[in-house]
Amino acid sequence: MRAPRNPRRDRRGGFLMVEALAVLAISAAILLALGSLTRLMLRQADAVAERTTRLEQAEQGLSALSRDLGRMARARWDGSERERFVFAGEPWRLLFALDRPAADGGPLPETVAVLLRSEGSGTGGRVTRAEAPLVPGLYGPDALAFGPERVLYEGPARIRFAYVAPPTDTTPELIVDAWPQVGPPPVAVRVGLADPASGDVASALRVPVRAEGEPGCVRARTHYCSRTEEGGADDDAAVGAILNAVTQERAASQRRN
């Protein structure tokens, strides 16, 4: 004969089963949430590491760009253009001569022409760099044979160049977006970090060029200074020619617009 079932015990066993299932469900939810949180933290860590790497690469590119500009050489073209320096400066493009150690390890440095191009997209910008041998007998930029380009800088901002004319007794230091073809190269280059979409400069770095350190440039009228034509011209006259060219270019631009 079977013993009668205890309803109270059955109800208690049912409650225990429900509690166990609830604990298992809550534990599963917690484990799932922990897994999601771990994946989110890993993605954030990867994003931070990637952003840090990009910023470091951008900083290294700007440092290399500044070193190149600081070593700018005062070279001239040959022939009828011998009074013109190897220099052409625009907001997004810069051509200049550079002294560097000889590729064959010789004791004398070699001079090359460097072309920098600043390109932009909707999310960032980059600067490419190309070199060309600067040998005797070159009469202008069209005679340069540039090698392959390489990326010098890539980052969240687009690089915009501007150029600094030296102050005189009658004029302050002048910063222009495009450097005239007349007169000596600038005394400094302003490397601006611009918004890729609008082109507006948010911050800038002023890079002085090496001619500022030439002893003869302290008294350019009586001593040799490669910044001035034939090494001894009047700085005021050179800057005056630059100001005149800038004024003419601005007037022409306003007429076109």
The string of pLDDT tens digits covering residues 13-35 is 556 676 777 777 787 778 777 77
Decide if 71 contacts 60 (C-beta within 8 A).
no
pLDDT recorded at residue 213: 46
* CA–CA separation, 134 and 112 (whole Å): 5
Tell me: the pLDDT tens digits for 179-213? Answer: 887 777 888 999 998 888 888 888 888 988 875 44
pLDDT recorded at residue 231: 46
pLDDT recorded at residue 181: 79
* Confidence band, pLDDT 50/70/90 cuts, at residue 5: low
Long-range contacts from 246-251, C-beta under 8 angstroms, 24+ separation:
246/174, 246/176, 246/180, 249/178, 249/180
Beta strands (DSSP E) in 121-180 are 125-133, 150-155, 158-165, 174-176
pLDDT recorded at residue 96: 93
**For the stretch 53-85, what's the b/e string if a residue is b when 16 or more beta carbons lie within 10 angstroms of its beta carbon?**
eeeeebeebbeebbebbbbbbbbbbeeeeeebb
Residue with the larger pLDDT of the pair 76 and 182: 76
* CA–CA separation, 44 and 243 (whole Å): 52
Phi then psi dihedrals of residue 109, to 5 deg: -70, 160
* CA–CA separation, 83 and 59 (whole Å): 36
* Confidence band, pLDDT 50/70/90 cuts, at residue 255: low
What strands lie across the sheet with 158-165, from one edge to the other? 174-176, 158-165, 188-194, 201-208
Strand partners, 174: 165
CB atoms within 10 A of CB 109: 13
Q: Is the pLDDT of residue 100 over 90?
A: no
* CA–CA separation, 103 and 90 (whole Å): 29
Beta strands (DSSP E) in 6-86 are 72-73
Q: Which of 41-55, 61-75, 203-217 has the highest mean pLDDT?
A: 61-75
- The lowest-confidence range among 7-11, 61-65, 132-136, 180-184 is 7-11
Q: Residue ranges per domain, the chain?
A: 70-256
- The lowest-confidence range among 103-117, 182-196, 210-224 is 210-224
Average pLDDT of the residues of the chain: 76
Q: Which residues contact 183 (CB under 8 A, 6 or more apart)?
A: 229, 238, 239, 241, 242, 245
- The lowest-confidence range among 46-50, 135-139, 143-147 is 46-50
